[in-house]
Amino acid sequence: MNVNSDTDEFRCGYIAIVGRPNVGKSTLMNALIGAKVSITSRKAQTTRHRITGIQTKEQAQYIYVDTPGFQTRHSNPLNRTLNRTVTNTLMASDVILFIIEAGTFGPADQQVVDLLPKNVPCILVINKSDRVKDKAILMPFAQKVMALFPFAAVVPVSATLKFQLDSLEQETKKYLPLNPPVFGEDDITDRSEKFLATEIVREKLFRFVGDELPYTSTVLIEKFEQEGNLRRIFVAILVDRDGHKSMVIGNKGARLKEISTQSRQDMEKLFGGPVYLEIWIKVKSGWADNEAGLRAYGYE
C-alpha cells in the first residue's frame, strides 16, 4: 500500500468508540483495524484502559480509541477511574462513534448520550443489526435515537459479520482533519507487547471464570523477556480472596491450564513467534479500593 501523506489530501485523526458496557465496542474496533488488539468477552466491563487501534488506508489514517463502557451501577474507585477515562477520551477526539445495540436503548445508553460533547462530530452506530429479524423496525428505532442528539450520521453495522464497516469508515473519514499520518503505515496499535499480553490473559480470565469472579481481579506481567524470536512471559493474576484463587485454578488445575493455553496461542498469533508463558495466582486484598492502588497497577 502506498500511503499518500500529502496534507492537502490526507486525513488523520482520533476516533473515540463509546457506549454502555457490552454493546460490542472492542469487537467493532478489532474488526475495523483487522487485528485483535482490544479484548472481548460476554462479561461487561472487560475493557479497562484506553486501547488505541490504528488503520492506515491510502488517503487516511484512522486512530481508533476503544474506551471502557461507562459505568453507572457502582461508584467505587475503579469505576470512577474508568468513567474519567471515557470523558477524557471524548474531549480529545476528532470524531466519536457512539455504539448502541439494534432495537435496544435504555437509561445506561442515555447516560452516555448525556456525556457527548456537541462540538465533536458524533456518528450513531447501531451494532448487531443482523440480529433484528424485522428490518422494518430499524429505521423508526434509528430516528427515535437520532432525535436525542445532533448526530452527524447514522450507520447500522454488524461488527461480528463485518457488515457495513466500509460505509462506517467512509462516513468517519469525512470528519477527520487534514493531517499527515501520526503512526507508521504498518502499526496497528500504540500499546506495547507487554500491555497486549496482559490484556490477552485478562480476556481469558473473564471468559473462562465468567460470572463467578468479581471485577476485583487483574493481571500483572512480572517479567517479559525476548530471546531472538521467543518471548518468555511470566504473569500474576491478582485476586481479592483465597476463595477466588480456587475459582481460577479450577478442578485439578484444568481452568488455569485452559486460560494459559489459549492466552499463549493468542499471543503467538499476535506477536508472530513462539511464547513461553507461566501464570500463577496471588491474593492481594483491596487492590482496587483506592486510586493510588489503581495507579500502581496501571489504571489511568
Any known ligand binding at 25? yes
Any known ligand binding at 293? no
Any known ligand binding at 179? no
Nearest to 45 by CA among 196, 217, 208: 217
Any known ligand binding at 68? yes
Any known ligand binding at 260? no
Contact 54, 33 (CB under 8 A): yes
Any known ligand binding at 21? yes
Any known ligand binding at 70? yes
Any known ligand binding at 4? no
Any known ligand binding at 217? no
Any known ligand binding at 177? no
Residue with cell 461507562: 70
d(CA 85, CA 77) in angstroms, rounded, equals 12
Any known ligand binding at 19? yes
Any known ligand binding at 130? yes
Any known ligand binding at 77? no
Any known ligand binding at 20? yes
d(CA 196, CA 133) in angstroms, rounded, equals 37
d(CA 263, CA 191) in angstroms, rounded, equals 17
Q: Which residues are annotated as a binding site for GTP?
A: 19-26, 66-70, 127-130
Q: Which residues are annotated as a binding site?
A: 19-26, 66-70, 127-130
